[in-house]
């Protein structure tokens, strides 16, 4: 089974129902619901998504969406090892380095993001949501 790591932007698209990106994000999440993939999301993504989404939505609604989403994914660590690897990496953006090393340490087989340029140094395959859905 593919271990599909989704970047923070995909989590925000899904939980925030952001158009025009929501449909593709929802299709990816539904694959996890059908047990076709193992969906991986970093703990950092939860923190960032909650911060952004609660600026525009009631806290109770976002927390409930996160609770439901949490049943469909495995949360990956952002621990000392991930931080140290990110600090030693050549990624230009530290947050992207954290995401990448969290994905690698969790055994991800690919990363889905809307910002492929952020992962140019990745040894893992990187797909946009549409590219992934068209595989």
Q: In the chain, which ranges are continuous DSSP H helix?
A: 8-15, 22-33, 43-53, 59-70, 80-88, 94-105, 129-133
pLDDT tens per residue across span 65-117: 999 999 999 999 999 999 999 999 999 999 999 999 999 999 999 999 999 99
DSSP string over 106-121: TT-SEEE-S-GGGGTT
Q: What is the mean pLDDT of residues 28-53?
A: 97
- Domain borders along the chain are 3-133
Of all residues in the chain, what percent carry a pLDDT higher than 70? 100
Mean pLDDT over 3-15 rounds to 98
pLDDT band at residue 121 using 50, 70 and 90 as cut-offs:
very high
pLDDT of residue 98: 98
Average pLDDT score, the chain: 97
Q: What is the pLDDT confidence band of residue 4, given thresholds at 50, 70 and 90?
A: very high
CB 134 within 8 A of CB 29: no
Considering the domain delimited by 3-133, tell me its CATH architecture. Answer: 3-Layer(aba) Sandwich (3.40)
SS3 76: strand
DSSP state of 123: S
pLDDT for position 50: 97
Handedness of CA 129, 27, 4, 109 (dihedral sign): negative
């Amino acid at each position: 089974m593919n271990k599909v790591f989704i970047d923070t932007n995909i989590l925000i698209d899904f939980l925030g129902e952001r158009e025009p990106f929501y449909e593709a994000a929802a299709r990816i999440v539904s694959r996890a619901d059908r047990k076709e993939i193992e969906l991986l999301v970093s703990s950092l993504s939860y923190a960032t998504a909650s911060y952004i989404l609660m600026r525009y939505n009631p806290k109770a609604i976002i927390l409930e969406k996160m609770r439901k989403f949490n049943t469909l994914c495995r949360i990956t660590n952002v621990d000392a090892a991930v931080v140290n690897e990110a600090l030693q990496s050549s990624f230009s953006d530290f947050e992207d380095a954290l995401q990448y090393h969290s994905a690698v340490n969790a055994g991800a087989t690919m990363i889905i993001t809307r910002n492929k340029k952020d992962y140019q140094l990745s040894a893992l395959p990187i797909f946009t949501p549409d590219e992934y859905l068209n595989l």
